[in-house]
Each structure stands twice: as C-alpha cells, then as structure tokens.
C-alpha cells in the first residue's frame, strides 16, 4: 500500500452513491439519472464530495465511457479545442452517450467557457457534461443556464456518523466527545479537511483533538483587541500562536468577526465600512496564496476604520 492509499480520505473515499453523504433530494435525483439527463453543474464548498460524486455518476450510475479533465490545470481554449471537441467527436464503444467531467470548472478562462457553450449544444446528442465548481460567480451565465445545478452539501449528523465509522474501523478510541463535536462544527462542511485532521489527531490510537480552539472565542478576542486599539502586531502574534489550534480556518474567522461587527453597538457608518472591507478580504481568501497574510492585511484595514 503506498502513502496515498494510507490516507483515510483515499481509503474511505465513497465508491457508490450509498457511501456518499448527500441530502435526500440530491440522492433521489442522482440515483435516477440516465443518458437523457441534461448537463450537470455540481457546486459548493471545498471538500464536500463534488469530484467524488461526478466519478460515481459515470462509474457506478451511468457506467459509461468518460473523459476526466481537471479544468483548473487545463483551463484554456486549447483544452476545449483539442481534448473536449475531439472526445465529443469520437464514437462511443457502445452506443451510449459519453460524459466529459470538467472538474474545478471555475478555473477555466472566460474565453474557453464561451467556446464550450457552443460545444455543449453541438454535441448534446452524443455527449453529456458534468461540471464541478466552488464559485458560481466565475462561471458565465450561458453555461449555467445550459446545466441543471446542484448545491452539494453533506449533512452534519451523517458526517459525524461517517467519522465515527472510520475511527471504529481503524480501532481508534474517541476521548473527549465535546472536543469532537466542536471540531466537527468548526470545520463543517469540508469533509476532506475533517477526515484528514482526524487522521492526524489519531496517531496515538486515540483521537486527541488539538484544534479545539473555538474560532468564535478567538474572533471575540480579536474584535475586543481592535476596539481597544491593542497594537496590531500583538494581535497578529496571538493569531499566529493559535493558528494550529484553529486549524488555519481563516474563512470561519472572517465570518465570526463579520457577525460580531454586525451585532456590535459601533456606529452604523463604521459598521458598514468595516463589513464591506471584511467581505472583500473574505472573497480574497479564496484566491490568495497566504491566508494568514491576507487576514493580517484585513486587520490592518479594520484598525484604520474602527
Ligand atoms: N459527501 C461526502 N461523503 C463522504 N465522504 C466525503 C464527502 N465529501 C468529501 N468526502 C471525503 O473527502 C474526500 C474529498 O472529496 P472531493 O474531492 O470529492 O471533494 P470536492 O467537493 O471535490 O472538493 P473540492 O471543492 O476541493 O474540489 C473524499 O475522497 C472523501 O473521503
Ligand atoms: Mg473536487
């Protein structure tokens, strides 16, 4: 067994629709799809099972010939012209429709998306598309309107059951239940992150959750520090010290601080400016290389406003 196979996310990757955590409506729909189902666009948070679902659809539900492309690596016009169009033009082994999975499609350039728009129509008689994406706003409207769109969100209680199943199969003891529940809530719905972290926490044979800092508590501290004009570099030091404990979940930290500002009694004008600023930095968090630097820049911006 190689290293990759030893990763729990890999070892326990769902292979059938039954293994996958899905909402009841989505499960009902995906179990019934057939060749005549229109193109699909699966969107939602990172680590919720979009890529896994796309592969289950082709391998387990439709059992059809397919082409998989990671569209954020191969994101240009050339891929559409060379790979997508030529695969669409070939005959399938059987007489069934073929499927092209364009994974992480929001990384595709707008120009390539415009070309794909026509390809989707031209080859609709022989080829179906399954697109996955984290950010719908990066997909041009004509593509969205050619697809049935599904928000892929696992259910929290089923995620907990799944984690406990993995831990049991690996003979890992669960120590503090409260820590476990808090950890799940803090990281939901990113199942990849949850399962990866659980594996890290389990090396002793018992789950010891070190990432148990409640992000909300940290957000409250940061908010109070900003109000009391604590030196900004000291605030950064606290964040860095706690980084491991809150699992570098900066998205959640942004959201918690946003809520605190919204509920606070600071003047409406300042509140508005601060919330717009936070919204901008939260958006950037999706694209930046260094999330901590982005968060720190946000603190600098907020300290000027508040
Ligand atoms: N809904 C789910 N049910 C069960 N396991 C899941 C689910 N979602 C994710 N996982 C676990 O996380 C791993 C990664 O999931 P996957 O790559 O399909 O997520 P994704 O939504 O495509 O993420 P990204 O947006 O980052 O591309 C899976 O192999 C599986 O172990
Ligand atoms: Mg994916």
| pLDDT single digits (tens) 126-135 | 999 999 999 8
User: Is 46 a domain residue?
Assistant: yes
Instruction: Give yes or no: residues 127 and 250 share one domain.
Output: no
Instruction: Give yes or no: residues 219 and 162 share one domain.
Output: no
Q: Tell me what pLDDT residue 112 has.
A: 96
Instruction: Give yes or no: residues 267 and 185 share one domain.
Output: no
User: Is 2 a domain residue?
Assistant: no
For residue range 63-106, list pLDDT tens digits in order.
Answer: 999 999 999 889 899 999 999 999 999 887 888 999 999 999 99
Q: How far is the CA of 44 from the centre of ligand 2 (A)?
A: 10
How sure is the predictor about 247, in pLDDT bands with cuts at 50, 70 and 90?
Answer: confident
Q: Tell me what pLDDT residue 186 has.
A: 80
Query: Does the beta carbon of 134 sit less than 6 angstroms from any atom of ligand 1?
Result: yes
Q: Tell me what pLDDT residue 217 has.
A: 86
Q: Tell me what pLDDT residue 178 has.
A: 77
Least confident stretch, 97-101, 172-176, 291-295:
172-176
Q: How many independent structural domains does the chain possess?
A: 3
Least confident stretch, 2-11, 27-36, 142-151:
2-11
Helix (H) or strand (E) holding 50: helix 50-56
pLDDT mean over 207-211:
77
User: Which ligand has the shortest distance to the CA of 196?
Assistant: 1
Q: Rounded to the nearest 10 degrees, what angle do helices 291-305 and 268-285 cross at?
A: 170
Token pair, residue 39, equals 């193109």
Instruction: Give yes or no: residues 33 and 77 share one domain.
Output: yes
Owning domain of residue 164: 156-207
* C-alpha distances out from residue 12 to 39, 128, 164, Å: 28, 28, 12
The number of the ligand 1 atom at minimal distance from the alpha carbon of 52 is 18
Residue of 49, 133, 184 with the most ligand 1 atoms within 8 Å of its CB, for mutation: 49
Query: Does the beta carbon of 293 sit less than 6 angstroms from any atom of ligand 1?
Result: no
Instruction: Give yes or no: residues 56 and 39 share one domain.
Output: yes
Instruction: Give yes or no: residues 201 and 253 share one domain.
Output: no
Burial class (CB in 10 A: 0-12, 13-18, 19+), 102: buried
Query: Does the beta carbon of 154 sit less than 6 angstroms from any atom of ligand 1?
Result: yes
The whole-angstrom separation of Cα 95 and Cα 70 is 26
Q: How far is the CA of 242 from the centre of ligand 2 (A)?
A: 29
Q: How far is the CA of 55 from the centre of ligand 2 (A)?
A: 10
User: Which ligand has the shortest distance to the CA of 190?
Assistant: 1
Residue of 13, 138, 163, 166 with the most ligand 1 atoms within 8 Å of its CB, for mutation: 13
DSSP state at residue 59: I
- Which residues are CB-contacts of 102 (< 8 A; sequence separation ≥ 6)? 69, 71, 84, 108, 116, 129, 130, 131, 132
Instruction: Give yes or no: residues 31 and 119 share one domain.
Output: yes
* This prediction's pTM: 0.79
């Amino acid at each position: 067994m190689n290293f990759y196979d030893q990763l729990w996310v890999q070892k326990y990757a769902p292979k059938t629709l039954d293994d996958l955590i899905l909402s009841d409506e989505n499960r009902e729909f995906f179990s019934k799809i057939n060749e005549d189902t229109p193109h699909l666009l699966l969107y939602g948070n990172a680590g919720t099972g979009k890529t896994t679902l796309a592969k289950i659809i082709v391998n387990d539900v439709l059992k059809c010939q397919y082409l998989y492309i990671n569209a954020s690596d191969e994101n240009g016009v050339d891929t559409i012209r060379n790979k997508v169009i030529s695969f669409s033009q070939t005959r399938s082994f059987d007489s069934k429709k073929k499927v092209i999975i364009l994974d992480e499609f929001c990384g595709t350039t707008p120009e390539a998306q415009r070309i794909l728009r026509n390809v989707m129509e031209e080859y609709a008689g022989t080829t179906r598309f399954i697109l996955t994406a984290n950010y719908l706003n990066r997909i041009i409207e004509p593509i969205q309107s050619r697809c049935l769109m599904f928000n892929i969100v696992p259910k929290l209680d089923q995620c907990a059951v799944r984690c406990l199943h993995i831990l049991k199969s690996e003979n890992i003891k669960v120590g503090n239940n409260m820590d476990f529940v808090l950890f799940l809530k803090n990281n939901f719905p990113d199942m990849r992150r949850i399962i990866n972290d659980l594996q890290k926490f389990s090396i002793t044979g018992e789950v010891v959750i070190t990432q148990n800092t409640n992000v909300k508590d940290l957000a409250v501290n940061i908010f109070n520090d900003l109000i009391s004009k604590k030196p900004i570099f000291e605030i950064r030091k606290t964040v860095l010290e706690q980084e491991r404990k809150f699992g570098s979940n900066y998205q959640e930290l942004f959201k918690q601080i946003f809520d605190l500002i919204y509920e606070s009694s600071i003047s409406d004008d300042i509140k508005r400016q601060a919330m717009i600023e936070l919204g901008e930095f939260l958006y950037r968090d999706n694209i930046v290389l260094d999330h901590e630097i982005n968060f720190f820049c946000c603190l600098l911006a907020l300290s000027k406003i508040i």
